[in-house]
Amino acid sequence: MKGVAKYPNTGLVFFPRARLRYSKLRNYIHALFAHYLPAFVLDLVISLMGDKPMLMDIQSRYFKGMQYTSFFTCREWLFDKRNTDDLSSRLSPDDKEKFDFETKHIDWPSYMETCVLGVRRFYHKEPDKNLHVARAIHWL
């Protein structure tokens, strides 16, 4: 996802990827090996260097977030949009211009970049002023 590379978080070790998994067990095993194990090893190295380990705590919060959203991310969703299409067909040309809700007109890459930036600002509470620091960390 280009938005994550453009607006990285300072606390990220790896760039996130979205994968659809239908099995909670597979999702848990993936989290164990791809998230917890690297965090544990890096925290061990950090502890041996005399600093405070923090990655397991970060991964625990991340995993809780995954659990909260798993109901939505581990299912396929089908939406009936007949009423929306009917409403759209009844709009006047002027109203269609004002209230364009056709998903084919959405610039999805730009939309996702805005979502990533919103998560960075409001969920991770990272100020925009440290964006250059986060980019430098991930450039290494």
pLDDT at 75 over 90: no
6 shares its domain with 25: no
140 shares its domain with 97: yes
Read off the pLDDT band of 1 (50, 70, 90): low
pLDDT tens per residue, range 14-50: 666 777 777 778 878 888 898 889 999 999 999 999 9
Question: Considering 49, 73, 97, which residue would you say is the last residue of a domain?
Answer: 73
d(CA 71, CA 27): 12
67 shares its domain with 96: no
pTM for the model stands at 0.58
Angle value at C-alpha 11, between 17 and 72, nearest 5 degrees: 40
Residue 79 lies in a domain: no
Q: What is the mean pLDDT of residues 69-73?
A: 79
CA-derived radius of gyration, the chain: 20
pLDDT tens per residue, range 56-67: 988 888 888 878
State how many domains the chain has: 2
For tokens 């909260």, the residue is 68
Residue 118 lies in a domain: yes
Neighbours of 35 (CB within 10 A): 20
Neighbours of 47 (CB within 10 A): 11
Residue 78 lies in a domain: no
94 shares its domain with 126: yes
95 shares its domain with 133: yes
49 shares its domain with 88: no
136 shares its domain with 93: yes
Angle value at C-alpha 108, between 113 and 106, nearest 5 degrees: 125
Residue 131 lies in a domain: yes
| DSSP 8-class letter at 74 | T
Q: Name the nearest CA neighbour of 59 among 13, 126, 15, 18.
A: 13
36 shares its domain with 65: yes
138 shares its domain with 90: yes
62 shares its domain with 106: no
Angle value at C-alpha 115, between 111 and 119, nearest 5 degrees: 170
Domain limits for position 116 = 1-12+84-140
99 shares its domain with 138: yes
Question: Considering 51, 73, 95, which residue would you say is the last residue of a domain?
Answer: 73
Percent of the chain with pLDDT over 70: 90
Given this model, what pLDDT does residue 131 score?
85
